Structure 1
Amino acid sequence: MDNDLQQRVKIDRPLYEQEQLDKDCQYERPSKKHFDCFNCKPIGILHKTIPVLKWLPKYQWRKDLLGDFIAGFTIAIMNIPQGMAYSLLANVPPITGIYTAVFPVLTYFIFGTSKHNSVGTFAVTCLMTGKTVLEYSDPSYFNPGSTASSGEGYSPLQVATATSLTVAFVMIIMYCLRLGIISTLLSDTLVSGFTTAAAFHVFTSQIKDIFGLVIPKQKGYFTVVKTWVSVFEEIKNVNYVALTISITCIIVLVLYNEGVKPKLAKRCAFPVPIELIIVVLGTVLSYYLKLEEVYKLNVVGSIPSGLPEPSLPPLDLIDDIIIDAIVIAIVSYALSLSLALIFAQKYNYEVDANQELLAQGFSNAVGSFFSCIPATASLTRTMILQAVGSKTQLHSVVSCGFLIVALMWLGPLLETLPISVLASLIVVALKGLFLQLGDFIRIWKLSKLDALVWMITFLSVVFVNMDIGLLVGFLLSLTQIIIMGFKPYTCLLGSVPNTDIYLDSRRYKMAIPLNGIKLFHYSGGLSFALRNTFKLELYRLVGIHPQKELRIRRKIAKMKEEDDISIGNLNISKFNNKIEKLKSKTTMDISCLILDFSAVSYIDSSGVTTLKTIGEDFALIGIPVYVAGCDGPVYEMMQRCRLFNEPKSSIRIFPTVHDAVQSAMAVFNLGDLNSISVISKI
């Protein structure tokens, strides 16, 4: 700090105990506010439930429209190749991904609170949906060489739309129960390990299309291992045309993204749609070179034009897919909310976590009636949105407008597009997820426990299955929270001379222990689960076990009361040595024990009972216990449990540690106390 800013502040006030402070400062416990529907303004409820009604009338058309229009056009172009490619991960027709970029997006525009989230297909959730589709669809849809169903089961699209509807139900129920906080239990470490491992699943699922192989789709556990075994068994039957197309597309995309794109970004207002260009070129070359007929290349096939007719998903599937839907709902919500919060913080606006549940729930519900798979926010598209100047969710309307026009006539033109082109787009798009492997090294340096959660989650997802891996990671994260909760921070405090500051004496050399006073600092909750930990840490750091202390003192007193005959039979020096040895095991230099509760976040009745016991035990050896710095809820719990009215207890309560120290110094003549004047440097 500069010398001209250094100054000294003098604080002059009475010494307070908590009860006197409550009287002087007019303490009053706040009453609980209950939600009263009759006192709520209908317009406020409407604006909260349908946010578009609040912000759209205030939209600054001249200032923001151009940015939203460019952003919407850019995202529409990106959604065509991405939607078709990610549909392959969900095991549904390619056109489904474009539908998912329209109907859920328009619904989110009405109910969402994020200005930047680009809702639609996303690799991880599409892959999770694809697992469910593969599990419950008619197997004949996935048998090599078969194009028709046996008529005995559900089609992939039926399973996908049923999954989307079930995900919507889960999210709406979570919204009604205000369970948006569940997403906070998915730590950044867990999400990083899960999504990185999911990238290996995505990559593995595209290997057969990259090499042009015909292998059966694997389901159940260990799908990655089974798929790679099948790939190595069939590698001799590789389609070299498909492999050549894949390698060419990957090389072009990588060279563009790593070399050309950064330079163009400095000159162009919006990115060049390289993915769409590759899709168009691949379609044209495939059509004129007749790659399907001549080289047996797998192509997209029939794509309907126009918009899908609304239809009800099969409701009898809900019971079977509910567990998968819960997992998809939690993952998609956590990913979307984390993105929304990042950009809300960056651009200084609010995102309602529970309203996001309602928005995504309604989006998936509407989408399920229009042949859509579960939708969530995409990291890449959201980053592009803010990069090209998107201001509000109005970009969604622009994007959907362009896509609806494209759906009316574009579909049949893409029927000859090679599947290997879409597979190449997916593989290149995984770069960001694969780079998250570097997170493990960073996390390892910061916390070995976090790194363990990351690695076990990653390995479980890769080698077992995505839902099992997520469950394992979730349980590990909860275990980590519990373990850390059972390791509260404790220390003895020392006084910084001429200030009212008290610091950890192990960490600060200037923090001097006070003569005759022990200051014990406890950080964390004091509940039934931690009461023994609190007591043991207190006894360990203070160096006193009251019961043992009392027994030793009584033994010494009893020995001193022995008659002269008993002493005469002993050697006097040995007797005195025995007394001194017993005295060395006692703590005679402590006059007062102060418990710093300024960092105690919670206390229950068991914790208060423990405090009563400690106060009574220390009172038996003549050491009073002062409690200092309690927050309001902690203090109120102590009052309700009548902690300060116990006749056997010596506990007194003070608003600050300094008040407790000054009172102890006055009571036990440990120093001069004329006032509570304090001089501190700031």
Structure 2
Amino acid sequence: MVGSVAESLVTNDNFTLPGNDSIIDMDARDKARVEVVAALTLLVGIFQIILGLVQFGFVVTYLSEPLVRGYTTAATIHVTVSQLKHIFGLPLSEKSQPLSLIYSLISLFRRIHNTNIGTLVVSTIALLCLFAVKEVNQKWQSKLPMPIPIELVVLVISTGVSYGINLHEQYGIGIVGNIPTGLLAPTVPKTDLFFQVVGNAFAIAVVGYTITISLAKIFSMKHGYKVDSNQELIALGLSNLTGSFFHCFAVTSSMSRSLVQESTGGNTQIAGSISSLIILVIILKAGELFTALPKAILSAIVIANLKEMYKQFMDIPALWRTNKYDLLIWIVTFLSTICLNLDIGLGVSVIFGLLTITFRTQLPQYSVLGQVFDTDIYRDICQNTMTKEVDGIKIFRTSSAIYFANAELYAQTLKAKVGVNIDLLIEKKKKAVMKRKRGLQKVITLAQRILSNTKKGSGLEFLMNKEAIVGSLQTLSETIPNPPTLQSLGLERLSFHSLILDFAAVCFIDTVGIKMLKIIFEEFKDIEVDVYLVNCPGSILRQLQSSRFFNETFTPALIFPTIHDAVSYLSQTHESSSLQEVTAI
């Protein structure tokens, strides 16, 4: 990412020599690119420090383990492909755009016939030695006083052989070459370049942090320690801020180097400190000792240490058996990172991970609960044969929050689970009420006609008709309770009188969910079913109160702390009501 920014802002066209457009002033061009990179790195460091101070590290919570493992597996393939040109000794250019991995492989296979045989032989021997000794280290770990430092041994031997035989001149094997020694004097990066790189700087700051925290999470899970995401962010920012004054480019954790250090037993900050001191010595004085080191050896060491990362492909069958959502996150993260590169692939992966959360809450698990025999425990009647529904009471549970994305589905599933077509029953009741009203209106109209006709007759006849009509109207009105019941309208009563909504798993409810909940209360009240809430968290109760959910009809008395409390109360209340009805009869 850093290189693409430098190349896009500082092109070759601006540094051609006067009078000859085919010759480029490489020194001037590289100096200008270094200035751009230094300014970019300074901005990256500032962004990371600011983000760390404002606790931006919380975003790591959205990097689930399947996402991190899918991302690092794809990054492993990117690293492997980037090293193949040194393994085969092919001069391939670096690419950073989307599908760069595919383009790199195509370029590799097109030029595979130009493979440097000497380089391939050196790479193969190094890989065989590395894999063999690593297997020995792993198999005889308990008997060895310390792991055999095969990487160091291979480096020393290959450098000596390359220098003695002159592999570069004799067989055309690529070597590290001249390593400039010493450090440049610190300078302040050009601030006038900030506006040109500010957007890229923020993107690099986020991507660099994500790569670092992803590797940190992998190693922390493996070795059992905790990672402070904000501390990592600030440390990364300070590294970039300081490095920008010494013409360094933006840094992040190196997967290959981290795996090499971890595989050789370096698990503490002491190992990092010693490694840094050795690199400093090499930069200052010992650089010429590694001039003859074949690049193929370095690539072989990197690839050999990626073996453990490739084992993460075994996550696929494990996730297939346990959780299809996590498997989908792993695969989408892997494919998007492979195809779209590390930066865009990361963004796509995080967005997809957030979408799966929406899908999971939008399509939660709904269940009707029954009482486990002779206990106060209630479980899903479809998954437990030891449960039985409480007579006259339906208990409904959801496994998710209730909000705009699933509120309507919650109501629809509730109506389907209780086994009654609520909407049809309400419609029948409305039609029955309207029919009764029309019948009553006809009687009233007929009575008015009779009374108007009898006024012309004798006074006695008028009074007798009036008393008869008034008595009939009174009898008719008494048959229609206010409000009318299902039984009085000739409709069949439901098999249950109470509905309990278990909110134990409801972590929040928004305004749309509250409105839908109120509609549920009103509709079931209309068909003579009382609705109760149980296991409501305090936050849900506060939301209901602030939204003015409660009124004279729906009071806080409809809320119980547990399912069993509500069942016990409703069972006793219904038994008392039934006994009073029998006594009245």
TM-score normalized with structure 1 length: 0.68
RMSD: 3.7
Give aligned-pair identity as a percent.
31
Aligned residue for 1:232? 109
2:79 is matched with which residue: 202, 208, 215? Answer: 202
Alpha carbons 1:170, 1:325 under 8 Å: kept: no
Aligned residue for 1:446? 322
Q: 1:165 deviation in Å? A: 3.6
Describe the SS at the equivalent of 1:374.
Answer: coil
Q: How many residue pairs were aligned?
A: 522
Q: 1:163 deviation in Å? A: 5.2
1:355 is matched with which residue: 227, 231, 240? Answer: 231
Q: 1:507 deviation in Å? A: 1.0
Cα deviation digits, residues 561-588 of structure 1 (max 9, x gap): 969x99xxxxxxxxxxxxx9x9998552
Query: Relative to structure 1, is the Cα distance of residues 463 and 551 closer, same or farther in structure 2, using a 3 angstrom cutoff?
Result: closer
In structure 1, what is the Cα distance between the partners aligned to 2:167 and 2:34?
27
Alpha carbons 1:133, 1:156 under 8 Å: kept: yes
Aligned residue for 1:573? none
Query: Relative to structure 1, is the Cα distance of residues 134 and 201 closer, same or farther in structure 2, using a 3 angstrom cutoff?
Result: farther
2:534 is matched with which residue: 628, 631, 640? Answer: 628
- Map 1:119-134; keep pairs closer than 5 Å: none
Q: Which runs of 5+ in 1 are unaligned?
A: 1-127, 141-145, 567-579, 674-682
Alpha carbons 2:44, 2:250 under 8 Å: kept: no
Q: 1:292 deviation in Å? A: 2.4
Query: Relative to structure 1, is the Cα distance of residues 432 and 369 closer, same or farther in structure 2, using a 3 angstrom cutoff?
Result: farther
Aligned residue for 2:208? 329
Aligned residue for 2:507? 601
Alpha carbons 1:171, 1:329 under 8 Å: kept: no
* Structure 2 residue identity aligned to 1:616: E
Aligned residue for 1:415? 291
Aligned residue for 1:668? 574
In structure 1, what is the Cα distance between the partners aligned to 2:511 and 2:265?
56
Aligned residue for 2:198? 319
Query: Relative to structure 1, is the Cα distance of residues 471 and 500 closer, same or farther in structure 2, using a 3 angstrom cutoff?
Result: same
2:125 is matched with which residue: 248, 273, 282? Answer: 248
Describe the SS at the equivalent of 1:520.
Answer: strand
* Structure 2 residue identity aligned to 1:601: C
In structure 2, what is the Cα distance between the partners aligned to 1:385 and 1:614?
58
Query: Relative to structure 1, is the Cα distance of residues 243 and 550 closer, same or farther in structure 2, using a 3 angstrom cutoff?
Result: closer
* Structure 1 residue identity aligned to 2:46: F
Aligned residue for 2:466? none
Alpha carbons 1:337, 1:356 under 8 Å: kept: no
Query: Relative to structure 1, is the Cα distance of residues 473 and 583 closer, same or farther in structure 2, using a 3 angstrom cutoff?
Result: farther
Q: 1:385 deviation in Å? A: 5.9
- Map 1:520-531; keep pairs closer than 5 Å: 520-531=396-407
| 1:365 has 2:252 as partner | no
Q: 1:541 deviation in Å? A: 0.9
Aligned residue for 1:72? none
| 1:484 has 2:360 as partner | yes
Query: Relative to structure 1, is the Cα distance of residues 533 and 464 closer, same or farther in structure 2, using a 3 angstrom cutoff?
Result: same
Describe the SS at the equivalent of 2:516.
Answer: helix
Describe the SS at the equivalent of 2:505.
Answer: strand
| 1:613 has 2:519 as partner | yes
Q: 1:473 deviation in Å? A: 2.3
In structure 1, what is the Cα distance between the partners aligned to 2:258 and 2:519?
60
* Structure 2 residue identity aligned to 1:338: K
In structure 1, what is the Cα distance between the partners aligned to 2:578 and 2:142?
70
Q: 1:535 deviation in Å? A: 1.2
Cα deviation digits, residues 485-537 of structure 1 (max 9, x gap): 10122111111232221111111111110111111112211223322122112
Query: Relative to structure 1, is the Cα distance of residues 647 and 597 closer, same or farther in structure 2, using a 3 angstrom cutoff?
Result: same
Alpha carbons 2:76, 2:306 under 8 Å: kept: yes
Query: Relative to structure 1, is the Cα distance of residues 628 and 187 closer, same or farther in structure 2, using a 3 angstrom cutoff?
Result: same
Query: Relative to structure 1, is the Cα distance of residues 168 and 646 closer, same or farther in structure 2, using a 3 angstrom cutoff?
Result: farther
Q: 1:286 deviation in Å? A: 1.8
Q: 1:374 deviation in Å? A: 0.8
In structure 2, what is the Cα distance between the partners aligned to 1:266 and 1:474?
41
Describe the SS at the equivalent of 2:29.
Answer: coil
In structure 1, what is the Cα distance between the partners aligned to 2:201 and 2:491?
64
Q: 1:131 deviation in Å? A: 5.9
Aligned residue for 1:639? 545
Tell me which of the two structures has the higher relative contact order, counting C-alpha pairs closer than 8 angstroms and 6 or more residues apart.
Answer: 1
Alpha carbons 2:368, 2:380 under 8 Å: kept: yes
Aligned residue for 2:558? 652
Which has the higher Rg, Structure 1 or Structure 2? 2
Query: Relative to structure 1, is the Cα distance of residues 139 and 498 closer, same or farther in structure 2, using a 3 angstrom cutoff?
Result: farther
In structure 1, what is the Cα distance between the partners aligned to 2:129 and 2:513?
65
In structure 1, what is the Cα distance between the partners aligned to 2:315 and 2:396?
38
- Map 1:37-436; keep pairs closer than 5 Å: 149=26, 151-152=28-29, 164-258=41-135, 260-263=136-139, 265-307=141-183, 309-313=185-189, 315=191, 316=193, 318-319=197-198, 321-322=200-201, 324-339=203-218, 341-342=220-221, 346=224, 351-370=227-246, 371=248, 373-376=250-253, 381=258, 393=269, 396-436=272-312
Aligned residue for 1:515? 391
Alpha carbons 2:133, 2:148 under 8 Å: kept: no
* Structure 2 residue identity aligned to 1:664: L
Aligned residue for 2:452? none
* Structure 1 residue identity aligned to 2:337: V
Query: Relative to structure 1, is the Cα distance of residues 293 and 383 closer, same or farther in structure 2, using a 3 angstrom cutoff?
Result: closer
Q: Which runs of 5+ in 2 are unaligned?
A: 14-22, 444-485, 580-585
Describe the SS at the equivalent of 2:506.
Answer: strand
In structure 1, what is the Cα distance between the partners aligned to 2:10 and 2:309?
29
2:495 is matched with which residue: 581, 589, 614? Answer: 589
Alpha carbons 1:665, 1:672 under 8 Å: kept: no
Describe the SS at the equivalent of 2:504.
Answer: strand
Cα deviation digits, residues 146-187 of structure 1 (max 9, x gap): 997262355776666555444423322322332212122222
Describe the SS at the equivalent of 2:386.
Answer: coil
* Structure 1 residue identity aligned to 2:198: D
Q: 1:664 deviation in Å? A: 0.9
* Structure 2 residue identity aligned to 1:328: V
* Structure 2 residue identity aligned to 1:493: L
TM-score normalized with structure 2 length: 0.78
In structure 1, what is the Cα distance between the partners aligned to 2:545 and 2:186?
62
Query: Relative to structure 1, is the Cα distance of residues 450 and 148 closer, same or farther in structure 2, using a 3 angstrom cutoff?
Result: farther
Aligned residue for 1:118? none
Query: Relative to structure 1, is the Cα distance of residues 187 and 249 closer, same or farther in structure 2, using a 3 angstrom cutoff?
Result: same
**Which has the larger displacement, 375-384 or 456-465?**
375-384
In structure 1, what is the Cα distance between the partners aligned to 2:427 and 2:528?
14
Describe the SS at the equivalent of 1:642.
Answer: coil
Q: 1:413 deviation in Å? A: 0.7
Query: Relative to structure 1, is the Cα distance of residues 430 and 181 closer, same or farther in structure 2, using a 3 angstrom cutoff?
Result: same
Query: Relative to structure 1, is the Cα distance of residues 265 and 138 closer, same or farther in structure 2, using a 3 angstrom cutoff?
Result: farther
Alpha carbons 1:616, 1:649 under 8 Å: kept: no
Alpha carbons 2:372, 2:379 under 8 Å: kept: yes
